[in-house]
Amino acid sequence: MLFYVVLLLLGAGAYYYHFTANRKKIIERLEVVAQRRRDDLAKNVEETRRIADKLDPKRRDYVGGLDFIQLQNELQKGTVTCVEAVRTYFHKAILAHEKTNAVTCFILEADQQAEELDEKAKQASYVKPPMFGVPLSLKECLKVKGYDTTRGFVQDAYRPATEDSIQIEHYKKLGLIPFCQTNVPQSLLSYNCSNPLFGTTTNPFDSTRTCGGSSGGEGALIGGRGSIIGIGTDVGGSVRIPCHFTGTAGIKPSKMRFAHRGGGASVPGKPMIDANDGPMAQDVKANVEFLRNVWGDIDFQSDRDPYCPPVHWNESLYSSEKKLRVGYYIDDGWFTPTPALQRAVLESKKHLENAGHTVIPFYPPRLTKVMQLYFRAVCLDGGQYVLNKLLKDIIEPTIRFQVTLWMVPTWVQRILSYPVSLVFPRMAVLMQSLTRDTFELREAYADIEAYREEYVGMMMKDNLDVILCPASVMPAPQHDIPSKVVSGVSYTCLYNLLDFGAGVVPVTTVSKSDEEKLINEYPETDKWYQTVKKATIGAIGMPIGVQVAAPPFREEAVLRTMREIELAITGK
C-alpha cells in the first residue's frame, strides 16, 4: 500500500515539475513577444502622432467639437474633409490613450483611405455613402484584414486576420473609416479590461477604476472623447457594462440582426448564449443614425451571409407616436444593485412617464436559476476551451481568481458546494453551475428555451413593449473586482440568455446621498455584497446608466426608449 502511495506521490511530483518547468519556458518566450508588441505599439503611436500633427490645431479643435450628426453632415456637405476627420480623431485618440491605455493599434491606412475618399468626392458623379468619412474605432477582436485579433492572448500576437469580416466590409462600404483597435480583457470573458499583452485600460473618470469590459477599450476611448463611434461585442454585457461604467451609450442587438460570417468569438460553439457586435457612442443619437444606415442597407450582409435575415431598419417602430408600455425593475432578486443604480432606473421611469408612457413593475422570474443556466451554457465545456488557451499563455493577474474557479474540477466544485451553501448560498449556486455531462447540458438548453417562452409570455400578458432595469450591480469598481464578482453580470447576461436587443444610456452620476445610503443600507450578507459595497465607496461622480431591453427584432423600440430618456436628461 505504502509503495503505491509513494509511487503516486512521485508521479504527481514529476508531473508538477514538468508542468511548471514547461510553463516557465512558455512564459519566458511569450514575455519577449509581448515586449516586442508593446514596442511596436509605441512606434505606431508616434507614427500616428506625426500624421495627426499635419492638421492645423484650430481646424482640429473645430472638427473635434462636432457631435456625430454634425460631423456626418459636414462630411456630406464637404465642409469637413475625410482627412480632417481622421487626423482629428488620430489626435483625440492619442490623448485618450495616453490617459487610459485604450488603444492596441492605430490603423495607419485610415489616413490613406481618407485621402482616397476625398479624391473620389471631387468627381461630380460620385454619390457619397451615408457615413462618408466618419472615423470608427473597433474592439480588438473584430477581424480587420492585416490586423491582429489576439483577445489579449500573447500566443495570438502577430497572427493578423487575412480578411475583413462581412460587418467590417459593410462599414467601409457605408463610408466609415476604421482608424484604431481597442483593448480587451484576456479571453473576453470578463468585465474588466486588462491583459498581459497591452496591459490595463483605465476608466477615463478615475484611473483606479476599470472602464469595464470586455469592450473596455471602446468605453475608455469613447468616454475619454477619443472616438465618436465604435464597435464592441457582447456575450454577457461587454457592450453595455463599459457604456455604464464610462458614461457612454451602446446597444447589443439580438443575434440575427448582423452577419457573423468571418467574425470571431470568445468561446466558439455556445449555441444558447447569443452574442452580438454592437455600436457604442457618446450619445444615443449616434447609435440610432449608425444602425439606421447599417440596417437600412442590411441586404449587403444578408447577401454575403444567408444566416443573417434581411430585416431592415424599422423606422415606424422607432418614430411611432404610440405611447409605450414599459415594465421596470430595480432589483432582479439575485443581486441588489447599489443605490445610485436603483435611483437611475426610478429617474428614467419618471422621464418616461412624463413623456406619456405607461411604466409598470415587472419581475424577471427565477434569476438564481438563470445565473446557473447562463454559466452552464456560456462555459458549456466547463471552461475547458478558455482554460486550455490560458494555460498556454501568461495569465492576466486581474482574472486569476476566475481562472482558479475554472481549474477546480466540476465534481470537486459540486461536492464543495454543499458545505459552502450553508454560509454562502449564492456562491454555491455558481459552484453547481458548470456542467457535469451532456445530459445536464441538454437539460439546461431545454430550460433556457422554456425560460425564453415564459419571459416573453409575461411581457405579452402585460402588453409590454420594453423592459427598463439597472445596467449592472455597481458603478465602475477597481480593476480586480469583476473577476471576484462574476455573478455581478446578472442584469446584462439575462438578455444574452433571452437573446433580446438591449442597450445602455447614461442617466446620472453617483451622488453623496447615494454613498450615504450605500453605507447605511446596502446589504453585507455575503462576500459579494461586501466586495461591491467596499468597491463602491469613493465612487462619487462616476457615471451611471440604465438598461432598456426588448425581444429580438425590436431594437428600434429599445433605441426609441433610450433616446427619449436621453432627450429628457440632456435636452438635446
Q: Which residue in 214, 227, 254, 483 is the catalytic one?
A: 214
Determine contact, residues 184/152, Cβ cutoff 8 Å: yes
Q: Which of 48, 104, 181, 266 binds ligand LD2E54VC (CB under 6 A)?
A: 266
Q: Which of 430, 473, 497, 507 binds ligand LD2E54VC (CB under 6 A)?
A: 430
Determine contact, residues 434/411, Cβ cutoff 8 Å: no
CB of 416 to ligand LD2E54VC, least distance (A): 9
Provide the residue count of the chain: 572
Closer residue to ligand LD2E54VC, CB minimum distance, 55 or 267: 267
CA distance 144 to 193: 21
Determine contact, residues 328/345, Cβ cutoff 8 Å: yes
Q: Does the annotation place 146 within a ligand binding site?
A: no
Q: Which of 234, 331, 465, 556 binds ligand LD2E54VC (CB under 6 A)?
A: 234
Closer residue to ligand LD2E54VC, CB minimum distance, 218 or 465: 218
Question: Which parts of 109-189 are beta strand (E)?
Answer: 135-139, 177-182
**Total residues at interface with ligand LD2E54VC (CB under 6 A):** 26
Q: Which residue in 194, 238, 483, 487 is the catalytic one?
A: 238
Phi, psi of 53 (to 5 degrees): -70, -10
- The answer to whether 413 contacts ligand LD2E54VC (rule: CB under 6 A) is yes
CB of 233 to ligand LD2E54VC, least distance (A): 4
CB of 258 to ligand LD2E54VC, least distance (A): 13
- The answer to whether 81 contacts ligand LD2E54VC (rule: CB under 6 A) is no
Q: Does the annotation place 235 within a ligand binding site?
A: yes
- Please, what is the Cα angle at 236 between 326 and 170, to 5 degrees? 90
- Distance from the Cα of residue 338 to its chain's centroid: 21
Question: Nearest-CA neighbor of 100 among 286, 285, 248, 236?
Answer: 248
> Of 77-85, 291-299, 399-407, 501-509, which segment contacts ligand LD2E54VC by CB under 6 A?
399-407
Closer residue to ligand LD2E54VC, CB minimum distance, 89 or 147: 147
Q: Which of 71, 85, 86, 378 binds ligand LD2E54VC (CB under 6 A)?
A: 378
State the binding string over 461-490 for ligand LD2E54VC (x if CB under 6 A, else -). Answer: -------------------------x--x-
Site for ligand LD2E54VC in 182-211 (CB under 6 A): 188-191
Q: Which of 379, 428, 464, 558 binds ligand LD2E54VC (CB under 6 A)?
A: 379
Phi, psi of 356 (to 5 degrees): 95, 5
Q: Does the annotation place 383 within a ligand binding site?
A: no
DSSP 179: E
Cell of 85: 476627420
CB of 73 to ligand LD2E54VC, least distance (A): 33
CA distance 142 to 402: 24
Cell of 493: 447576461
- Distance from the Cα of residue 379 to its chain's centroid: 18
CB of 238 to ligand LD2E54VC, least distance (A): 3
Phi, psi of 220 (to 5 degrees): -65, -40
- 139 catalytically annotated: yes
- 165 catalytically annotated: no
Count of CB atoms situated within 10 Å of the CB of 436: 14
- 238 catalytically annotated: yes
- The answer to whether 433 contacts ligand LD2E54VC (rule: CB under 6 A) is yes
Q: Does the annotation place 296 within a ligand binding site?
A: no
CB of 284 to ligand LD2E54VC, least distance (A): 20
Using only the alpha carbons of the chain, give its radius of gyration. Answer: 24
Determine contact, residues 276/255, Cβ cutoff 8 Å: yes
Cell of 414: 459540486
CA distance 47 to 381: 43
Q: Which residue in 92, 137, 139, 348 is the catalytic one?
A: 139
Question: Nearest-CA neighbor of 196 among 54, 346, 10, 395?
Answer: 395
- The answer to whether 402 contacts ligand LD2E54VC (rule: CB under 6 A) is yes
Cell of 135: 472615423
Closer residue to ligand LD2E54VC, CB minimum distance, 408 or 567: 408
> Of 126-134, 172-180, 220-228, 234-242, which segment contacts ligand LD2E54VC by CB under 6 A?
234-242
The SS3 of residue 26 is helix
Q: Does the annotation place 236 within a ligand binding site?
A: yes
Count of CB atoms situated within 10 Å of the CB of 123: 8
Determine contact, residues 242/215, Cβ cutoff 8 Å: yes
* Residues tagged in the binding site annotation for substrate: 188, 214, 235-238
* Residues tagged in the binding site annotation: 188, 214, 235-238
Enzyme catalytic residues: 139, 214, 238
Q: Residues interacting with ligand LD2E54VC, by CB under 6 A? A: 188-191, 214, 233-238, 266, 275, 375, 378-379, 402, 405-406, 413, 430-431, 433-434, 486, 489
